Structure formats: structure tokens, C-alpha cells
């Protein structure tokens, strides 16, 4: 970056001990990859090598069916989620058979694929509700929640289901998912809907708006069971969308699960997670696998180097493709500044050298309990800089807060050395 574009920054790292929690902490190495509990993949064909390539970051998969043709090899922990696709003979009984014989209970059953879109399930809201109740009755026997119906966000008038709407009492063409779902909920009556689900193929603004609208309108967890930006000019643009969209879904408290479309997209190879070669990730796949979760129970054991993307909470900071010489991500800071919290585990109290790699100029302050433990200065030059300070940490699990002021920049990593 050019000096003329940089302004003074101040980064404050505040370390505070966490309170005792009923849930056990997951303590891992700083460099460890931790799969996201939320993250899934839409697939039609996964080899053993493909499963091994995806599993470090992906925890579940589905194939729009109630049974899996592809099974993860031994040692690979990825859960299959069944779907009752539509109002076809055998879909409901197929889910029942799968749940009865499953060695590992899925976290959810997916119900009804795009009832509002021609060529998919294509059934009206009343029929959708009747089918959903049958699926729910099956899933309830195994104490598994149901997410659905899995809606197309919108559709052209000629491709949209038509029916007399029970709320307006008018003949309606359901070109948008919200009116369809309101009619669906009317027909569901007292039957519980555990979670709603939808698909998005537009830009990041569409994804963020639609996710928020689903949560606001229906007050339930949201599953985004297909997403990608279909019309992208390049693989690099597809990757940049994937990073922003996936991290939004990962950070959103409204979202319970999400799945990228898809493992290999024959009609649009730019959005594929895997190359043709078995087990080889595309640049999208590398980003998808390596994006970290932000779960509050994950603590990174010192010493080690934390990529800046491994925060537990952040405001005014977003993960971007790295501009540094190694790794996948940097943390880009908005012009108004922001903050990011990091969970760390210190086994023994004592001195520690904290080394921050950042781009920009300004001051880095290391604080604990409101007291400054050390200060490092970023020089007035372009490119990446490694600056460090000696600090004293107490023992135990701690949360470090990184805050920025001014026009900053990027942070690549925070390294802790004895």
C-alpha cells in the first residue's frame, strides 16, 4: 500500500479471562483447521479423495435424496443429511427407512426442494404443508428437526406455481418465496416448523437481505441449502464472493446451516469446489475448506501463529483473500475502524513475545485489564511489517480484542512466542 493512502492506526489487544462454562472448551493448536459445524456441500459425486479434501473444513453433505450413494472413507467425519425431495412415491418412506438404519443421526432432515419452481417439486402451498406434516411426523419419531421447505428465492412468472392464496383469497402467482411461505405457514396450523430454508444465486446483497428477511418474517433458524453467485466474470470473482458470503453465513446467528452449490458444477465450472482430478480443490475449494468457524468454545493454544481470520467475534473487519506471501486470508479493516476478538489458551503464566504482521503505519498497543503491556510501532513504509512487543500473560483461557482506528489496512497474523 502507498504511504499516501495510510493513516495512523491503533490496535489494542485486550486480554480477559473467560468465565466458567457448562460446555467444555475445544482447545486446539493455533495452526489447526477446525471444521465448521454449519458448513455443508451440495453434491452428486464425491470420491474418497474428494471427501478427504473437503473434510478439514466441511462437516456435512447432501444430494437432494434420502440415501447417499457416496460414503466418506474411514477416518473422515462428514455427516449425510437426507432430503424428502417432493411429493413423489417413496420420498417420505425413504427418509423413514434412512433414519431407522442410520448409524449416526443427522442434525436435520431437509424437506421439499423448491416447491415454488417449475421443474422442481412444484407444488402449491397447501400441498407443501400436507407433505411437510408427513415428513415431520417421521422425523419426530427420531427426534430430528426438519428444515424446509427449501425455497427458490424467486422465479419467473411462467416458472412459478399458482394457487388461490389463503390470506388474500386471490389467485396468486408465487414469484417470490415470502408470500408462498406465509401461505404455507397458514396451512401448517399448529404443526411446528423447526427451520426455514432457501436458495440464493445472486450477489452478496441479495444473500444478506434474503437471510435477514427469512429470519425476521418467520422467527426461525435459517438454512441456506444452495448458494453461489451464478453470473460471475471469473473464478477469482467467484472465490471472492464465496469468502464474503460464507463468512457472513458463518457469523450470522440466524443461520443454522449452509451448503455451497456445488462440488463440481458442470454447467458453471467457475463455481466448483473441486477440479476434475479426484481430491484436488479448486481455488474456491481451498477458500471454502480453510475459512475458520467462529465458535465461542474454540480456544487456540499458545505458543503459535494465529491467522487474523480466526476471530470469535468481529465488527468492522472482514475476511479477504490474502495479499501476503503465504496463507489464504487477511483481515481487512473498514475505514472507520473495527474490532476482532480472539480466544487463546495460555497453559502457564509468563512472558510472551507477541508479533503482529500488518500492512500500514501507526501504533500497536497490547493491553490487559485496561493496562498497556507493550507498544510496537509500524514504520512509514509500504508492504507488510512484523512488529513485536514483550507481554505478560496470566494462565488460562483468555479473549484478546484487537481494535483499530483510522484508515487501516490489513492484518495477516498474530504470533505468540515464548
pLDDT tens-place string over residues 131-153: 999 999 999 999 999 999 999 99
Q: Going by DSSP bridges, is the β-strand pair 410-417/304-307 parallel, antiparallel, or unpaired?
A: antiparallel
Percent above pLDDT 70 for the chain? 92
Question: 211 and 252 in contact (C-beta within 8 Å)?
Answer: yes
- In tens, the pLDDT along 259-305 reads 999 999 999 999 999 999 999 999 999 999 999 999 999 999 999 99
User: In which residue are the cell numbers 441479495 written?
Assistant: 206
CA 218 to CA 256: how far, in whole Å? 14
Instruction: In whole angstroms, give the CA distance from residue 120 to residue 135.
Output: 18
Average pLDDT over every residue of 239-243: 98
Q: Considering Cα of 97, then 101, then 102, then 106, what sign does the dihedral take?
A: positive
Question: What average pLDDT score do residues 335-359 get?
Answer: 87
pTM: 0.92
Per-residue pLDDT averaged across 300-311, rounded? 96
Strands (DSSP E) contained in 154-312 are: 162-164, 171-173, 195-200, 222-227, 255-260, 298-301, 304-307
- Three cell numbers at 107? 442434525
Q: How confident is the model at residue 391 (pLDDT cuts 50, 70, 90)?
A: confident
- The answer to whether the CB of 39 falls within 8 A of the CB of 250 is yes
Say if CB 165 and CB 172 are below 8 A apart: yes
CB atoms within 10 A of CB 158: 8
The arrangement of strands across the sheet holding 109-111 comes to 79-80, 58-62, 36-42, 255-260, 222-227, 195-200, 146-152, 109-111, 83-84
User: Is there a contact between 400 and 48 (Cβ–Cβ < 8 Å)?
Assistant: no
Least confidently predicted of 220-234, 368-382, 392-406: 368-382
Q: Would you state the pLDDT for residue 14?
A: 42
List Cα–Cα distances, 190 to 129, 184, 221, 316, 397, in angstroms.
Answer: 11, 12, 18, 41, 45
Query: How distant, in Å, are the alpha carbons of 3, 361, 405 from that of 383?
Result: 10, 10, 19
Q: What's the pLDDT tens digit per position in 172-183?
A: 999 999 999 999
Length of the chain equals 418
Identify whether the C-beta of residue 260 lies closer than 8 Å to the C-beta of residue 227: yes
Query: What pLDDT does residue 291 have?
Result: 98
- pLDDT for res 47: 98
pLDDT at 256: 98
What 3-state DSSP class applies to 143? coil
Alpha-carbon distance 160 to 53, whole Å? 38
Residue 29 CB burial class (10 angstroms; 0-12, 13-18, ≥19): middle
All domains of the chain in start order, with CATH: 3-22+296-417 (2.60.120.260), 35-290 (3.20.20.80)
Across the chain, what does the average pLDDT equal? 91
Amino acid at each position: 500500500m502507498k504511504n499516501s493512502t495510510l493513516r495512523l492506526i491503533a490496535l489494542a489487544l485486550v486480554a480477559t479471562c473467560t468465565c466458567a462454562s457448562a460446555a467444555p472448551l475445544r482447545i486446539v493448536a493455533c495452526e489447526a483447521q477446525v471444521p465448521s459445524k454449519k458448513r455443508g456441500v451440495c453434491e452428486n459425486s464425491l470420491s474418497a479423495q474428494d471427501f478427504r479434501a473437503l473434510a478439514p473444513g466441511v462437516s456435512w453433505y447432501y444430494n437432494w435424496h434420502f440415501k447417499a450413494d457416496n460414503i466418506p472413507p474411514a477416518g473422515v467425519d462428514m455427516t449425510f443429511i437426507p432430503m424428502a425431495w417432493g411429493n413423489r412415491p417413496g420420498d417420505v418412506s425413504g427418509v423413514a427407512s434412512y433414519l431407522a438404519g442410520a448409524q449416526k443421526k443427522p442434525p436435520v432432515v431437509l424437506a421439499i426442494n423448491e416447491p415454488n419452481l417449475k421443474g422442481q417439486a412444484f407444488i402449491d402451498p397447501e400441498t407443501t404443508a400436507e407433505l411437510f406434516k408427513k415428513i415431520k411426523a417421521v422425523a419426530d419419531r427420531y427426534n430430528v428437526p426438519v428444515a424446509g421447505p427449501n425455497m427458490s428465492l424467486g422465479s419467473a412468472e411462467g416458472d412459478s406455481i399458482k394457487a388461490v392464496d389463503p390470506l388474500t383469497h386471490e389467485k396468486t402467482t408465487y414469484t417470490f418465496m415470502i408470500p408462498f411461505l406465509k401461505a404455507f405457514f397458514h396451512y401448517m396450523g399448529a404443526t411446528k416448523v423447526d427451520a426455514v430454508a432457501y436458495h440464493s444465486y445472486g450477489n452478496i446483497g441479495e444473500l444478506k437481505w434474503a437471510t435477514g428477511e427469512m429470519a425476521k418474517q418467520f422467527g426461525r433458524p435459517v438454512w441456506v441449502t444452495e448458494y453461489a453467485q451464478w453470473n460471475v466474470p471469473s473464478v477469482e470473482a467467484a472465490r471472492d464472493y464465496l469468502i464474503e458470503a460464507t463468512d457472513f453465513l458463518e457469523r450470522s446467528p440466524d443461520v443454522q446451516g449452509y451448503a455451497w452449490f456445488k462440488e463440481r458444477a458442470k454447467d458453471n465450472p467457475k463455481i466448483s469446489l473441486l477440479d476434475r482430478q479426484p481430491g484436488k480443490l479448486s481455488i474456491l475449494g481451498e477458500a471454502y475448506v480453510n475459512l475458520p468457524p467462529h465458535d465461542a468454545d474454540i480456544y487456540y493454544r499458545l505458543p503459535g501463529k494465529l491467522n487474523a481470520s480466526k476471530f470469535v467475534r468481529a465488527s468492522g473487519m472482514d475476511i479477504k483473500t490474502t495479499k501476503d506471501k503465504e496463507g489464504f486470508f487477511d483481515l481487512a479493516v473498514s475505514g472507520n475502524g473495527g474490532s476482532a476478538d480472539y480466544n487463546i489458551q495460555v497453559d502457564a503464566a509468563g512472558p510472551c513475545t507477541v508479533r503482529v504482521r500488518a500492512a500500514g503505519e501507526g501504533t500497536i498497543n497490547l493491553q490487559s485489564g485496561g493496562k498497556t503491556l507493550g507498544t510496537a510501532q509500524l514504520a512509514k513504509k509500504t508492504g507488510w511489517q512484523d512488529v513485536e512487543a514483550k507481554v505478560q500473560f496470566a494462565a488460562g483461557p483468555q479473549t484478546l480484542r484487537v481494535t483499530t482506528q483510522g484508515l487501516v489496512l490489513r492484518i495477516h497474523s498474530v504470533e505468540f512466542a515464548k
